[in-house]
């Protein structure tokens, strides 16, 4: 298995959504979860690229 060199920070106030996102991405990426923005910005991540997704979760999952 290749080393997971990329980290993804998923932020959502619904724990079930975080579980789905982690489940979809965990094989390829190191996935961190946060339940809100305050928790997310407190995590020691660097560098950070931001993607704000407003699509419903099922649309995001279908595009992977």
Q: What is the pLDDT of residues 44-59, one digit of tens each?
A: 876 656 665 655 555 5
Residue of 40, 38, 48, 42 lying closest to 10 (CA atoms): 40
The domain spans of the chain are 1-49
Predicted structure pTM score: 0.65
- Cα–Cα distances in angstroms (integers) from residue 34 to residues 3, 9, 26, 63, in the given order: 23, 7, 15, 22
% of residues, the chain, pLDDT over 90? 23
What's phi and psi for 16, nearest 5 deg?
-65, -40
């Amino acid at each position: 298995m290749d080393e997971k060199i990329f980290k993804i920070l998923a932020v959502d106030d619904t724990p079930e959504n975080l579980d789905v996102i982690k489940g979809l991405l965990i094989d390829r990426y190191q996935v961190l979860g946060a339940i809100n923005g305050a928790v997310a910005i407190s995590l020691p991540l660097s560098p950070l690229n931001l993607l704000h997704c407003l699509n419903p979760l099922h649309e995001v999952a279908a595009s992977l």
